[in-house]
Amino acid sequence: MSTWISERGRQRLTAAAAAGSLGLTALAGCLPAGGEVTRSATLEIADRAVVVAGPPGFCVDPVASRTGGPAFALLGSCAALDPRPGAPRPDVRAMLTVTLAERGAAGPVADSADLLEGFFQSEDGRAALSRRGEANTVEVLESFRRGDLFVLHARDRSTGVAPGLATDYWRGYFDIEAGIVSVSVLGFEDAPLSRESGLDTLDAFIAAIRQRNPG
């Protein structure tokens, strides 16, 4: 891989990783709050509309989400967000975030697996994953390509996470026509996610978004 490609890819990955951490940083400042709760929401990136939806039982928190750039959304249990009786609950206890970033000049995520692997193990990559931009707070526990996705399991011990949430999370990066999507799945300290539950929830979240967006 040439130095030019690596540098262009590094710039894109830094932006995408930082955008993904933006959702976690926003989450650190708020837990589910009231508002008009819906199963899906429309975010915008580069003047393109992207429909965000979660797996069954998850709803978008309208208070903690932001539709403009950098756009992100927070999803939690519909029953926790909606005071009305009968609101559904997901099969797994978790919080979800989704963030959008422009694709830039580099190629799709599916073609960048090796670069992603090396980047997130580097100091720059771990700093981009940190809520506080501090590489020494982040440990990448696992990362791999899965079809045209790139998946990582990381732990961020920096301050600011919302009370009760676990320090580790699962994250997936993938492309849609509008740009790069970063989705994260976070468990709770008193109900940590197993590897199987984390990956299954991540897969279901990605499938829900892809079903509603081209590319």
pLDDT over 90, % of the chain: 40
Whether 184 shows a pLDDT value over 80: the answer reads: yes
**Cα angle for residues 128, 133, 138 (degrees, 5° grid):** 70
pLDDT in tens, 33-80: 445 677 888 887 767 788 999 999 999 988 888 776 667 889 999 998
Q: What is the pLDDT of residues 67-104, one digit of tens each?
A: 766 678 899 999 988 888 888 999 999 999 998 887 76
Across residues 20-25, what is the average pLDDT? 51
User: Per residue in 103-130, is it b (16+ CB within 10 Å) or e — as a string?
Assistant: beebeebeebbebbbbbbeeeebbbbbb
Q: Which of 3-12, 137-146, 184-193 has the lowest mean pLDDT?
A: 3-12
